[in-house]
Amino acid sequence: MGIAMQYRRLGNSGLQLSALSFGAWVTFGNQVGRGAAREMIAAAWDHGINFFDNAEGYANGEAEKVMGDVLADLRLPRDGWCVSSKVFFGSAVDPRPTQKGLSRKHVHDACHAALKRLRVDYLDLYFCHRPDPETPIAETVWAMDGLVRQGKVLYWGTSEWSADEIREAHRVAQAHNLVAPSMEQPQYNLLDRQRVEVEYAPLYADYGMGTTIFSPLASGLLTGKYNDGIPADSRLAQEGLTWLQRGLRGERIDALRRYTALAAELGVAPSTLAIAWCLRNPNVSTVMLGASKLSQLLQNLEALEVSRRFDDALWERVAQSVA
């Protein structure tokens, strides 16, 4: 790799995460077996990645088992890397009421189940995977605070919560002297900017919130591989992911073609350019990479160098190409 890994603080916390991290979203336990997972986690570690992201709902807990087995097998020093889980969707195929959501019970049970699957004594980061309209935010804040005080979780945060919901969590924490959320995990990419750049803008200043952004490639749309339809072996063709296909409408495809043409003109792979663009936002603590093969991961890692290669005017052209 042409450039050393950069590390960024998770918001105003003292935790330094690699600017690029590695996640197991729809790959581990589905598309990716243990052998490929081991190869990619080893390569990620060798290139300076120190944060591995997971969730109870990824492949019904199987993704966490694969990652836990690989991390144990590689014998990487536990104080050198961070691992996350997320709670909300449950890991059961058909979860019963207490096996999902953000009640004190499920937040507690899901944490202990994730520790077991990931084969660790504590989670570095633990996210509420979605807001839960069935549970008072205060109950969830108290539950997370309890896990932090027990040493089971070091930092807790949210994923895809509204700014108002995040504010409410901070209000509760402040009122009762509880541990407040440190980070949010939103979707962020060239096609999806509003929440991270506008809605959350006051939260960075008010609370020092960090972000661990996912889907920098807009679920693969920014790779260029869907410019002419959906290849049979691609993520969009997978059963159960038809919701991703809805992003492919006429004007969207035109924008994607303009974007991939610009990437070609710059001599950069479209995926690498899209990740590099995300890295330029100072409120992004880490960009989470998902890959189903080693070659993809290595190409994505080139984004560190690409993010420094061009001037502001060129990056504005990149953003305008999909507008």
CA gap 177, 165 in Å, rounded: 18
What three-state secondary structure class fits 173?
Answer: helix
Best CA proximity match to 161, nearest among 139, 183, 193:
183
CA gap 19, 241 in Å, rounded: 28
**Is 58 annotated as catalytic?**
yes
What three-state secondary structure class fits 261?
Answer: helix
Residue of 7, 58, 200, 207 marked catalytic? 58
Q: Which long-range contacts (CB under 8 A, 24 or more apart) does 143-151 make?
A: 143/102, 143/103, 143/104, 143/107, 143/108, 144/107, 144/179, 144/181, 145/173, 145/178, 145/179, 146/104, 146/108, 147/107, 147/108, 147/111, 148/179, 149/179, 151/122
Check residue 178 and report its DSSP letter: P
CA gap 103, 190 in Å, rounded: 34
What three-state secondary structure class fits 32?
Answer: strand
**Active-site residue set:** 58
